[in-house]
Structure 1
Amino acid sequence: MTEHSEARGISFPGKSAKWLAVRWVLIVAALLVAGYVAAKFADAGDTMAVVGTAFVAMLVLLVYGTRRAIPAKYLLVGVLFLAGLQIWPIVYTAATAFTNYGQGHLVSKEEATAQDIAYSVVQVAGSPTYGLSVAVKEGTNPTSGQLYFLLTDDSGKNFIGTAKGLQPLSGSGVKVTDGRITAAPGYTMLNLLEANKRKDLANFAVPTKGGGGIKASGFSEAFEGRPTLVWDKKADTLTDTRTKTVYVAKDARWVPKGGDGDPLAVGWKENVGFGNFKTIFTNSTYRSGFLSIFVWNVCFAVLSVLTTFILGLLLALMLNDRRIRGRGVYRTLLIVPYALPVFVSALVWMSMFNQEFGLINTMTHLNIDWLGNAWAARAAILITNLWLGFPYMFIVCTGALQSLPDDVVEAAKIDGAGPLRTLRSIKLPLLLVAVGPLLIASFAFNFNNFGLVQLLTQGGPFDQAGNEAGSTDLLISYAFRLALGGTNPNYGLASAVAVIIFLLVGLMSLPGFWRSRKLEEVNR
């Protein structure tokens, strides 16, 4: 093919020295970026990520560094994005579902033990003291964000302390007043009220060389001391040298050997098998309300798809009539709700559903408690979702109607079929061939429509105080409240719920895919 192309005088840009240089510059840039990313992963100790990055770099070099594998040159980027943005999150979520990953179980056993030992630090006579400012990363929650100690020693040197150790802190934006850091770029200082809300502050310590640690002494000072816990790795025990209490590993925590007393503050991440799935189906708190929420979840998804599709189809059929003037203007106006951000529309509708001052009750002279009554709140969500969803169905149906062959419709008219019969027997079956998969995708989206529920009703109203299951909760919002919304997030449990939802949506979508395959026979 190349010889024939050259004989015809066709010149390919890839053969020129200019394009060859550009190609290799891009390849080298990609390899440098991969090297930088691999170095960061290596610093974090993530061996698998380093191997994965090196593998991607090798693929880039092999595919784009030669003239062969032409299809791979077009497919590689898409495949990498597919693997990184779709496949990997699914695999990681499924893997997390079999662990106890969550608050208090975030690190390995070695790291957790090191933190527990650091937390046991007590001041030693003659040890140095520091001016202390407690801080969190700028933009994070002061009561739940990761703690940082901003320290100033007697010589005026500044340091930043984390659960991993102590590092120098420098920069033009660092301000020190009365021996304490009062401002530092990228950090927010906690006031006394915010610091008092932190239950982890009393146990937080910054590990130092020699097995010591820096702990807070009050709100404005810190000291360096020595730990009272000693780890016997051979016996796999921790011993408190002050109280002589021996701790053993149990349920991913260090607990007193005799069973009396509290476990140590920091646990570790470990595999729990099907424990999270067992908790979902056997724990009374999680099981209660699950069935009613599941039924409402299915009804919400089905009704959302049906109502948006029917309204979108009717509007598309109406504006598909060539006798209507200004169809372009009408179509533009009808897709305005689709162009607005969901959170803006949801908040506007929430204000309109207000019982006392809302636009809906004011215009209709009704007194419906839209967001306080269970059935009214469900209706409010369906109405809001209809407003948000019908423009999408309108666009899809308009495109599908315009692609229908005119000769089939004309043949139906010649055979005496009326408008309704033509719609039912000709247009709708042909329409569903194109729209069917999109309806299934819309069902899956609405089954997990967390944003709308959270913005409009937050899952409420709730039947009674303390009841975790709300009247408008979907499974995804219910799982969020139980597993992530509390003070002790459990990411492993939340991942298990996500896996169950994934399986439910998949099983419920299968009949739709089978039906779509049968509809394809209409065009054959």
Structure 2
Amino acid sequence: MSLDVREAAEVTTPPRPRRELTTAFVVSRIAVLAVAAAILLYAVPPLVAAESWISLTLLLLAGAGIGYLYLTRRFVPAKYLVPGTVFLLAFQVFPVIYTVSTAFTNFGDGHRGDKAAAISAIETGSVRQAPGSPEYGLSAALKGDTLVFLLVDPKTKQVQEGSPDGLTAVQGARLGVTGKVLEAPGYTVLKAPQAAARADQIAELAVPTRGGLIKANGLSRAVEGRAALTYDAGCDCVKGDGDSWQADESQGYFVNAKGEHLAQGWQVNVGFANFIRVLTDPTLSAHFLGMFTWNMVFAVLSVLTTFALGMGVALALHHPKMRGTRFYRIALILPYAMPAFAMLLVWRDMFNRDFGLINQLFGLDVDWMGGMLSAKFAVILVNTWLGFPYMFLVTTGALQAIPRELTEAASIDGAPPWYAFRKVTLPLLLVALTPLLISSFAFNFNNYNAIALTTDGGPFPAESPTVGGTDLLISYTVRLAFGTGSAQFGLAATMSVFIFAIVATISAITFRRTRKQEDVYA
């Protein structure tokens, strides 16, 4: 009997319907596979050339997994999750990990490569022409995408290719009246403007010879010389010019007995040295607390002023007796629709002391960007003007979601409008808008454009030419990494870690309080 029931169930159970493949689904699948294939084609050759077999294996496995995922009908949820996860890893997780790892190194100018690259740069940079050494006519050229020298012996007119691998004879080259190469089979000879654009690369290129190295002396002449400084692997030191520089692995420098180091170093792990420097270095620690305090004030005031102004306008337009609300709403979001960088530059000119609109309009003679307090006031005012339309939009949406019966009930009970707003409307608004206020705080805490395009961190006091009165931590970090004579990426990454920790801590505390608020008004 049980067998008959089972057979009947098998007969009566309808087959699972096959999912129809929509055009959008097929196109999206093809697009994902095409992007994956393009990445593989782009990334595989460099990895093979670098003999990075582990990375190559991981890349091929990832490509095979994506291909299998999107060529099968199974794992439908994963088809939607994988692209988002990949973008999350590529644009969020990886930058954070890379920044944190950089903070533990001395990465920066003079420490961009490994030790071998530093030794090569030291030896190449110390090449000096010896008396009676050969000179050549020089033409910079491209062999494929590689920069090479086309060297002409002034006596024999023989043309040779000079590259990091050495000298190679060139056949069929055509010389000009000045003795320089005009054309050569297999080469693209650079014209003067093109060579000038690659002047740094030309100056760095060194061609090894039996007698030393050939280096460019300008853009049309090359000389052979010897390296004044040479590396001795036996003592792990650089010798020359009557001195010796010992390798110091803790600093990534070659240091002599006097404590002086050569300009070129290499990247090493320095542990917590950058973090200790931020907290203990007099130059940094003396200004860190002041910058942090102003950073907090700027972020908090930016949120409060934009929210207060945006909410006030939204409440005014939300009143049932208000007319022409569509026109006002369109007009009020114009600052939000304008490119922020352009508006910041316009406001900067409006605050100009000599020809700025604000001084001329009100008959003032205020150096807005020259004083500490006036510059800070100007920056907050500009940021308020740029940010309040966003708060106006989100507050308008939140107000429309609050039932009017609640405020009407408070009015019937005899509550004054201000009391009803404070006890009913505002708490409900904060429940909906607190996450946006937190994100606005995080954005303004790192609002680099608002500072860079208006005050550029200034004014700068005489005793502190690198830290300005309106500098945020992020603007100082950018100046530390890119704006000084020597870029210090490791130290800048350390500052970024501090900024991340500060914003993350404040956001976590605020979100915790928001949950309690939601429990009260749920």
CA–CA distance in structure 1, aligned partners of residues 503 and 487 of structure 2: 25
Q: Is the 1:305–1:443 contact (alpha carbons within 8 Å) kept by the matching residues of 2?
A: yes
| Superposition deviation, residue 48 in structure 1 | 6.3
User: Residue in 2 aligned with 1:342?
Assistant: 340
Point out where structure 2 has 5 or more consecutive residues left out of the alignment.
Answer: 1-10, 169-174, 183-188
| Superposition deviation, residue 10 in structure 1 | 6.8
Cα distance change on mapping 1:32 and 1:458 into 2, 3 Å: closer
Q: Is the 1:353–1:359 contact (alpha carbons within 8 Å) kept by the matching residues of 2?
A: yes
Q: Does 1:77 align with 2:75?
A: no
CA–CA distance in structure 2, aligned partners of residues 65 and 167 of structure 1: 52
| Superposition deviation, residue 232 in structure 1 | 3.9
* Aligned amino acid, residue 362 of structure 1: Q
Deviations 1:183-210 (A, max 9, x none): 559957269xxx8xx8x998x4425477
Q: Which moved more, 1:63-72 or 1:21-30?
A: 21-30
User: Residue in 2 aligned with 1:364?
Assistant: 362
* Aligned amino acid, residue 297 of structure 1: N
Correspondent of 1:330 among 328, 334, 359: 328
| Superposition deviation, residue 120 in structure 1 | 3.4
Correspondent of 1:267 among 262, 265, 268: 265
User: Residue in 1 aligned with 2:213?
Assistant: 213
Deviations 1:216-258 (A, max 9, x none): 3255312344545544435423344xx46443211212233x4
| Superposition deviation, residue 317 in structure 1 | 1.0
| Superposition deviation, residue 89 in structure 1 | 0.5
CA–CA distance in structure 1, aligned partners of residues 379 and 128 of structure 2: 56
User: Residue in 1 aligned with 2:517?
Assistant: 519
Correspondent of 1:457 among 431, 452, 455: 455
CA–CA distance in structure 1, aligned partners of residues 12 and 431 of structure 2: 43
Q: Is the 1:374–1:461 contact (alpha carbons within 8 Å) kept by the matching residues of 2?
A: yes
| Superposition deviation, residue 397 in structure 1 | 0.5
Q: Does 1:117 align with 2:115?
A: no
CA–CA distance in structure 2, aligned partners of residues 234 and 458 of structure 1: 50
| Superposition deviation, residue 276 in structure 1 | 0.8
Cα distance change on mapping 1:325 and 1:176 into 2, 3 Å: farther
User: Residue in 1 aligned with 2:423?
Assistant: 425
| Superposition deviation, residue 212 in structure 1 | 5.1
Q: Is the 1:404–1:430 contact (alpha carbons within 8 Å) kept by the matching residues of 2?
A: yes
Q: Does 1:92 align with 2:98?
A: yes
Deviations 1:466-492 (A, max 9, x none): 532211111112233334311110100
Q: Does 1:12 align with 2:5?
A: no
> Equivalent pairs: percent with the same residue?
38
Cα distance change on mapping 1:51 and 1:266 into 2, 3 Å: farther
Cα distance change on mapping 1:493 and 1:186 into 2, 3 Å: farther
CA–CA distance in structure 2, aligned partners of residues 188 and 330 of structure 1: 58
User: Residue in 1 aligned with 2:186?
Assistant: none
Cα distance change on mapping 1:264 and 1:149 into 2, 3 Å: farther
Deviations 1:277-299 (A, max 9, x none): 11112221112222222111111
User: Residue in 1 aligned with 2:238?
Assistant: 238
* Aligned amino acid, residue 56 of structure 1: A
Q: Does 1:129 align with 2:136?
A: yes
Q: Which moved more, 1:329-338 or 1:419-428?
A: 419-428
Deviations 1:128-184 (A, max 9, x none): 62426799xxxxxxxxxxxx97743227979797xx77899xxxxxx9995378955
User: Residue in 1 aligned with 2:4?
Assistant: none
| Superposition deviation, residue 67 in structure 1 | 2.2
CA–CA distance in structure 1, aligned partners of residues 108 and 212 of structure 2: 27
Cα distance change on mapping 1:404 and 1:296 into 2, 3 Å: same
CA–CA distance in structure 1, aligned partners of residues 98 and 176 of structure 2: 43
Cα distance change on mapping 1:26 and 1:100 into 2, 3 Å: closer
| Secondary structure, aligned partner of 1:366 | coil
Greater radius of gyration (CA): 2
User: Residue in 1 aligned with 2:253?
Assistant: 253
CA–CA distance in structure 2, aligned partners of residues 493 and 4 of structure 1: 72
Q: Which moved more, 1:118-127 or 1:98-107?
A: 118-127
User: Residue in 2 aligned with 1:393?
Assistant: 391
CA–CA distance in structure 2, aligned partners of residues 100 and 345 of structure 1: 38
Correspondent of 2:281 among 277, 280, 283: 283
Q: Is the 2:137–2:151 contact (alpha carbons within 8 Å) kept by the matching residues of 1?
A: yes
| Superposition deviation, residue 413 in structure 1 | 3.3
* Aligned amino acid, residue 215 of structure 1: K
Q: Is the 2:481–2:492 contact (alpha carbons within 8 Å) kept by the matching residues of 1?
A: yes
| Superposition deviation, residue 329 in structure 1 | 1.8
Q: Is the 2:140–2:202 contact (alpha carbons within 8 Å) kept by the matching residues of 1?
A: no
CA–CA distance in structure 2, aligned partners of residues 19 and 68 of structure 1: 14
TM (norm. structure 2) is 0.82
CA–CA distance in structure 2, aligned partners of residues 506 and 98 of structure 1: 20
Measured on the aligned residues, the alpha-carbon RMSD in Å equals 3.8
Map residues 436-475 of structure 1 onto 2, 5 A cutoff.
436-464=434-462, 466-475=464-473
| Secondary structure, aligned partner of 2:374 | helix
Cα distance change on mapping 1:425 and 1:19 into 2, 3 Å: closer
Deviations 1:355-391 (A, max 9, x none): 1211111111122211111111111001100111001
Correspondent of 1:58 among 60, 64, 74: 64
User: Residue in 2 aligned with 1:383?
Assistant: 381
Q: Is the 1:38–1:49 contact (alpha carbons within 8 Å) kept by the matching residues of 2?
A: no
Cα distance change on mapping 1:189 and 1:75 into 2, 3 Å: same
CA–CA distance in structure 2, aligned partners of residues 442 and 368 of structure 1: 31
Cα distance change on mapping 1:365 and 1:216 into 2, 3 Å: same
Q: Which moved more, 1:218-227 or 1:398-407?
A: 218-227
Point out where structure 1 has 5 or more consecutive residues left out of the alignment.
Answer: 136-147, 169-174
| Superposition deviation, residue 496 in structure 1 | 0.4
User: Residue in 2 aligned with 1:142?
Assistant: none
* Aligned amino acid, residue 264 of structure 1: L
* Aligned amino acid, residue 95 of structure 1: S
| Secondary structure, aligned partner of 1:355 | coil
| Secondary structure, aligned partner of 1:101 | coil
What is the aligned length? 490
Q: Is the 1:461–1:472 contact (alpha carbons within 8 Å) kept by the matching residues of 2?
A: yes
CA–CA distance in structure 2, aligned partners of residues 100 and 321 of structure 1: 59
User: Residue in 2 aligned with 1:138?
Assistant: none
| Secondary structure, aligned partner of 1:13 | coil
CA–CA distance in structure 2, aligned partners of residues 50 and 431 of structure 1: 52
Map residues 99-110 of structure 1 onto 2, 5 A cutoff.
99-110=105-116
User: Residue in 2 aligned with 1:33?
Assistant: 39
